[in-house]
A and B are shown apart, each in its own frame.
Chain A
Amino acid sequence: MNDNLDNMMEQEQPVLTTAEKALLLSEIEARVAVPVASPYSIFVRTRTMAALLVALAIVLGTSGTVLASEQAKPGDTLFPVDRATEKIRLALASTEVRVRLQAQFNEERLAELREIIEEERAVDNTSASSTTNAIIVVNDDGEARIGAAVQVLLNYIEDTDESVNREAFLSALLRQVDAVKVAGRLEGANSASDDKARIQIKDNRIEVREDGYRVRIDDDGEIRIKLDDDRAEGGHRSDDDEEDDDDDQDSATFEAEADVFFDTTLIEVEINDHKSTFETTANTKEEVIVEISARYNLERSVVESGLNFEIEDRASRNQDAKRDDSQDEEWHDSGDDDDDDHDDGDDDHEDDGEAARIEKFEVRVEGMTAQVQVEYGDDEKLEYETLYTTKAALIAEVALQTGLATANLAAALDLEIE
């Protein structure tokens, strides 16, 4: 039936005919002023490609298992799937016992995977493992090993009796693998739905805290926007922090900034105006939250809401650890869109020899979409609309398209919210 599904999907793959492809290509080339190739050459190429695709389809039909078995490391004996023995035990058991045995085997499989994931944990944040949905960071090799183990489990569950609750097994499996993140991969670039805005309603104002910025609406109607991490490259700062002095009068104040560099993570914590800094190997938001919570004995939610998490596109430098205290937060009036906060001309970009100067990086968020304008390098321009509205995702997207460093983009970003 599985193969049947593959065939059905195969049959229903929407494809263009050779003629349609040729026509489409000629239209594209006409619009971008590329010389049009002869229809014959296109025909030959597309036919070749069709043949390759058919070959590909045949290979793909069986590739999952083959790939997985290739990925499984020889000698990795931590994942013995002793199915033969199990099958004998199951065959000899009564129906009732069989169901119980199978459930037990399933549980063992999941526990084995948990062990593998734990073994591959690249960063020690074991204190987080007691919390639900704790993130476990692994490296690329770890992910490969987990991937191979997962494929074995998928084959295993396919091979079990129909009466077994496969869905429950798969759900449990999914929960385990979803908790695994790979070190060094940008988080949040495509997960806008995970970024929940936090809204706080206070006596005289409303604050909306999103990943990367905060919007504050005072009772006199004034709207202010604060970018959480526009200090990424140590750009111009204002000492205008009096706005924050009345912030949270009713409780202890907590602010933290984590800068994740290639080689280390620097964390600056401010509790009731008392600042301290420390260095750690934690390099994901989750680990940083756990680390700060543990060090300062703070509630997770407090740390989470006050943390400004930055992934820097470079190794750390001496000056990163000694940030001037005057580099405090800065509130931007929403109407003031011609400020020079993103004039990063004096920034130290010498580590990136080919860094293009960013003349302008403006984003206007309107409802669910954002208008992006970037001017950089020698008169390069990029303008488009996107569904990404969180700062991290926008920066990642622009970095991908322009090749500019994320840290430089973060420093240059001028965000406006309609």
Chain B
Amino acid sequence: MESIDIKVTVNQCANRNADSFRVLYEHLIDKIFAFVVFRVNNREAAKDVTQDIFIELYQVIPKFRYHSDAAFYAYVFTIARRQIIKRYKDEKKHQTTAFAEDSVPGEFSNVEIKHSIHTALEALDECSREIMVLHHWSRFTFAEIGALINMTESAVRVRHHRARSTLLSLLNS
């Protein structure tokens, strides 16, 4: 975990400190983008959604009261989920295809690996898939993931382990 003091940074952001906002952006950008790409399956749409998430975060952060890092991440991911839903609904309304759930992601460079990992991830249940993404891509600890999805750390660990086993068997088959 990049060592920034979330409490201090968040409080400074609340006071509209531009530098602190950039620090927070750098701390969160990869975590959020990975999660969003995984949910929207489209790199360009994911960039838009990520942008909206940070804009909303900037707007509402003065109202956030810091309790713990995990609570802050949960707060950010609540915003992220909401923006993903919003985007999905907007896209649906406009009947565009840019945000199709099954569209081919533009993210993956190595076609063979992309196909296998992506297909294998798709085969997992939603909860396990989210745990894999949050752990390997968003780089959250099991305890943090527990806070994000309202589960105990142990439950996250076991699901993660089982998801790994499933992925391995799928990739080997």
Contact = CB atoms under 8 A, between A and B. Distances in A.
B97 to A, nearest CB: 20
Contact of A14 (B21, B37, B113): B37
Contacts of B117: 8-9, 12
Given A13-B137, A147-B152, A174-B159, 17 more contacts: A5-B167, A8-B117, A9-B137, A12-B113, A14-B105, A25-B25, A31-B55, A32-B55, A34-B18, A147-B157, A151-B157, A180-B154, A190-B148, A385-B89, A400-B75, A401-B75, A403-B63
Interface in B46-94: 46-47, 50-51, 54-55, 58-60, 63-65, 71, 74-75, 78, 81-82, 85-86, 89
Contacts of B78: 397, 400-401
A186 B150 CA distance: 8
A166 interface: yes
B162 A174 contact: yes
Contacts of A45: 22-23, 26
Contacts of B99: none
Contacts of A151: 157
A57 to B, nearest CB: 8
Secondary structure dominating the interface of B: helix
Given A9-B117, A37-B18, A150 B157 contact: yes
B154 A12 contact: no
A27 B158 CA distance: 40
A154 to B, nearest CB: 5
A384 interface: yes
Interface stretch (A46-54, A218-226, A228-236): A46-54
A21 to B, nearest CB: 6
B22 A25 contact: yes
Given A45-B26, A49-B2, A180 B114 contact: no
Contacts of A146: 152, 154
Interface string B19-40: 1011101110110011001100
User: Which of B27, B38, B137, B167 neighbours the largest number of chain A CB atoms within 10 Å of its CB?
Assistant: B137
B154 A5 contact: no
Interface residues of B, number: 72
28 contacts: A8-B171, A9-B117, A9-B137, A10-B136, A13-B30, A14-B46, A15-B33, A16-B33, A21-B26, A25-B25, A25-B29, A27-B51, A28-B51, A28-B54, A45-B22, A45-B23, A150-B157, A150-B158, A154-B161, A177-B154, A177-B158, A180-B154, A190-B148, A190-B149, A385-B86, A386-B82, A387-B85, A401-B75
A5 B167 CA distance: 8
B168 A12 contact: no
B58 A32 contact: yes
A188 B150 CA distance: 8
Contacts, number: 177
A20 B22 contact: no
Contacts of A5: 164, 167-168, 171
B161 A20 contact: no
Chain A interface category by residue count? 35 or more
A402 B63 contact: yes
B85 A177 contact: no
Given A2-B168, A143-B153, A400-B78, A173 B55 contact: no
Interface of A: 1-2, 5-6, 8-16, 20-21, 24-25, 27-29, 31-32, 34-35, 37, 42, 45-46, 49, 52-53, 56-57, 60, 64, 67, 143, 146-147, 150-151, 154, 166-167, 170-171, 173-174, 177-178, 180-182, 185-191, 369, 380, 382, 384-387, 397, 400-403
Nearest to A13: B137
B110 A56 contact: no
B136 A15 contact: no
Nearest to A380: B63
A191 B30 contact: no
Nearest to A15: B30
B98 interface: no
A177 B154 CA distance: 6
B7 interface: no
Interface string B131-151: 010001101011000001110
Contacts of B137: 9, 13-14
User: Which of B38, B152, B165, B168 neighbours the largest number of chain A CB atoms within 10 Å of its CB?
Assistant: B152
Contacts of A167: 162, 165
Contacts of B101: none
Contacts of A27: 51
A167 B168 CA distance: 13
B66 to A, nearest CB: 9
Interface in B93-119: 105, 107-108, 110, 113-114, 116-118
Contacts of A397: 78
Given A28-B54, A154-B158, A11 B152 contact: no
B155 interface: yes
Q: Which 7 A-B pairs have the closest CB atoms?
A: A190-B150, A403-B65, A14-B37, A9-B136, A177-B154, A150-B154, A14-B107
B64 A401 contact: yes
